[in-house]
Amino acid sequence: MKQCELTCFAKQLSSSPFRNRFRQGKLHRVIINILFLLSIASFVILLGTFINYHVRKFLISEEDYSYLPPLHQLSPPPPPPPPWSHYSYVLCNFAFSSSSSSSSSSSSTSLHPTFNSSQLNSHWTAPDLEDAWHSMTDEELMWRASMVPNIVKYPYTRKTKVAFMFLSRGKLPLAPLWEKFFQGHKGLFSIYIHTSPEFIDEATGNSVFYKRRIPSKPVEWGMATMIDAERRLLANALLDFSNERFVLLSETCIPLFNFTTIYNYLVNSNQSFIGSFDDPRFTGRGRYNKHMWPTVSLEEWRKGSQWFEVNRKLAVEIVSDGKYYPVFKEHCNPPCYMDEHYFPTLVNIISPGLNSNRSITWVDWSRGGSHPTTYVRNDVSVALLNQIRQGFNCTYKGGVTSICFLFGRKFHPSTLHPLLGIAPALLGFDGQ
Ligand SMILES: *[C@@H]1O[C@H](CO)[C@@H](O)[C@H](O)[C@H]1NC(C)=O
Ligand SMILES: *[C@@H]1O[C@H](CO)[C@@H](O)[C@H](O)[C@H]1NC(C)=O
Ligand SMILES: *[C@@H]1O[C@H](CO)[C@@H](O)[C@H](O)[C@H]1NC(C)=O
Ligand SMILES: *[C@@H]1O[C@H](CO)[C@@H](O)[C@H](O)[C@H]1NC(C)=O
Ligand SMILES: *[C@@H]1O[C@H](CO)[C@@H](O)[C@H](O)[C@H]1NC(C)=O
């Protein structure tokens, strides 16, 4: 605009009647010089505007990042800006003598919430979070749980924990056995319980199950709502950054070893324990729906027990899965059961090398039928437990071990009493 005005002015001048009168004079040259200087000045102003706009964008976005309190806490002070940007900033301020300097970083400190490091620790690791309840929606929860720190080293002493996730209709009838199992191991485990929403009983204050219920929704066995509940459990457990291994258990499960043995077995393994096999029969491949192609192929299709154990990396992938879950939800309907196929197939596709392909939760199918054996009071004996504890061979950490199952199901509530009688001595519960 300015340039145009100047040019037009010059044209007017050169075509005006003055022209003849001053043609030979000095005035003409002076005007030419002034016009030249004015053009240069307007060019500098335009350049200044351009640089000022870009430098401001750069400065403002960098400041936005520093509003994230945790990052601000953990990161070293920002490096000085490179010399050129300093120069540009000075230049544009010079060219414009403007009001834009108000966005400089000096004003930002008062806007930071003041975090101190003990709050920071409890915020991210939740060791003091006594109550598993919260008000997040599933969508908010999954998003929050899917976050992975990019810095490998933890800024606090991280004690690896195992998350025990109970998927139950109501109360846990075998809770007294679990209480003995956990006794003396505070800080090495966390408990999460998903129940029917209408179940609101609370354990007593000195119980390990006190305030460990998570916000739950109705579950239909064998349907997608069951997978939703399992993902909800995983997501809640992921909120605690100290949880490294995640075991899914039912109310009929019992531990087959003491805490120390189970903890070491899981923490020292780099594999997850999800039963996953290719069943060529109608009860396996027969449940594959060809509409799942090409997201899931028949060759990738797997079957396995729903009672999984996964490490943190896989747990994050499971709660983040937006690709396979919708396909299963739409196309895996009875006689296809999502709880027998979704996790085994998913892990086979996304990280086959990191799964042992076997479950660590034992169940007895030997009596035939479509349901496994439920053990009642008179079935419980040292011989039965030892048979499950030592009667198998399997691979573990590249070798062979006789410890293949860490948990057993299905134990009826009536087994509690005999179990309390023999388990502490047999399994070697600490402090007994
Ligand atoms: C940090 O926050 C915790 C919990 O709010 C508080 O107890 C502690 O006194 C604070 N420490 C400092 C140094 O401000
Ligand atoms: C588990 O199965 C997958 C795919 O079938 C295979 O790649 C992997 O080697 C198996 N893992 C073990 C430990 O056998
Ligand atoms: C497990 O392996 C041991 C040693 O190789 C063998 O003696 C035992 O019979 C095996 N047990 C089973 C159930 O195969
Ligand atoms: C897992 O551990 C086994 C034995 O401890 C080792 O041979 C294998 O390379 C490890 N795998 C990964 C992916 O770290
Ligand atoms: C826990 O079990 C292991 C073997 O299963 C045993 O060696 C250990 O002594 C037991 N711990 C206690 C405290 O009894």
Q: How far is the CA of 62 from the centre of ligand 1 (A)?
A: 29
Give me the phi and psi of 20, to 5 degrees please.
-65, -40
Residue ranges of domains in the chain: 127-359
Residue whose CA is closest, atom 8 of ligand 3? 393
Q: Look at the pTM and tell me if it is higher than 0.95.
A: no
Just give the CATH number of 127-359. Answer: 3.90.550
| pLDDT tens digits, one per residue of 392-426 | 999 999 999 999 999 999 999 999 999 999 998 99
Q: Please give the structure tokens belonging to residue 276.
A: 């996953």
| pLDDT tens digits, one per residue of 251-286 | 999 999 999 999 999 999 999 999 999 999 988 999
Confirm or reject: Cβ of 118 under 6 Å from ligand 1: yes
Residue 39's pLDDT is 79
| pLDDT tens digits, one per residue of 37-83 | 877 777 767 766 665 555 444 433 333 332 333 333 333 333 433 43
Give me the phi and psi of 107, to 5 degrees please.
-85, -5
Mutate to test the pocket of ligand 2, among 355, 356, 397 (most ligand atoms within 8 A of CB): 355
Share of the chain above pLDDT 70, in %: 73
In terms of DSSP bridges, do strands 407-408 and 254-255 run parallel, antiparallel, or are they unpaired? Answer: antiparallel
Residue 254's pLDDT is 97
Residue 157's pLDDT is 82
Q: Please give the structure tokens belonging to residue 398.
A: 């590249």
Using the atom order of ligand 5, give the atom closest to the CA of residue 430: 13
In terms of DSSP bridges, do strands 399-401 and 243-250 run parallel, antiparallel, or are they unpaired? Answer: unpaired
Band of residue 96 on the pLDDT scale cut at 50, 70, 90: very low
Distance between CA atoms of 255 and 408, rounded to whole angstroms? 6
Q: Tell me which H or E stretch contains 341.
A: helix 338-350
Residue 335 has pLDDT above 60, yes or no: yes
Q: How far is the CA of 418 from the centre of ligand 4 (A)?
A: 40
Distance between CA atoms of 135 and 218, rounded to whole angstroms? 17
Residue 68's pLDDT is 31
Mutate to test the pocket of ligand 1, among 73, 114, 115, 116 (most ligand atoms within 8 A of CB): 116
The residues, any chain, with a CB within 8 Å of residue 265's CB and separated by 6 or more, are: 257, 360, 396, 403, 406
Confirm or reject: Cβ of 119 under 6 Å from ligand 1: yes
| Greater model confidence, 406 or 127 | 406
**Using an 8 Å Cβ cutoff, are 402 and 392 in contact?**
yes
Residue 371's pLDDT is 86
Residue whose CA is closest, atom 7 of ligand 1? 118
How far from 31 is each of 1, 14, 115, 138, 378, CA to CA, in Å? 20, 10, 64, 74, 114
Could you say which ligand is closest to the alpha carbon of residue 352? 2
| pLDDT tens digits, one per residue of 194-242 | 999 998 888 888 899 998 999 999 999 888 999 999 999 999 999 998 9
How far from 294 is each of 289, 290, 298, 323, CA to CA, in Å? 11, 9, 9, 11
Distance between CA atoms of 415 and 432, rounded to whole angstroms? 20
How many Cα atoms sit within 13 Å of 391 on the Cβ side?
10
Q: How far is the CA of 116 from the centre of ligand 1 (A)?
A: 6
| pLDDT tens digits, one per residue of 145-156 | 999 999 988 888
Distance between CA atoms of 184 and 186, rounded to whole angstroms? 6
Could you say which ligand is closest to the alpha carbon of residue 115? 1
Q: How far is the CA of 355 from the centre of ligand 2 (A)?
A: 7
How far from 137 is each of 215, 296, 321, CA to CA, in Å? 9, 29, 17
Using the atom order of ligand 1, give the atom closest to the CA of residue 117: 1
Closest to 179 (Cα-Cα) out of 189, 194, 169? 189
Ligand 5, pocket residues at CB < 6 Å = 257-258, 260-261, 428, 430
Using the atom order of ligand 5, give the atom closest to the CA of residue 428: 14
At residue 34, the 3 state secondary structure works out as helix
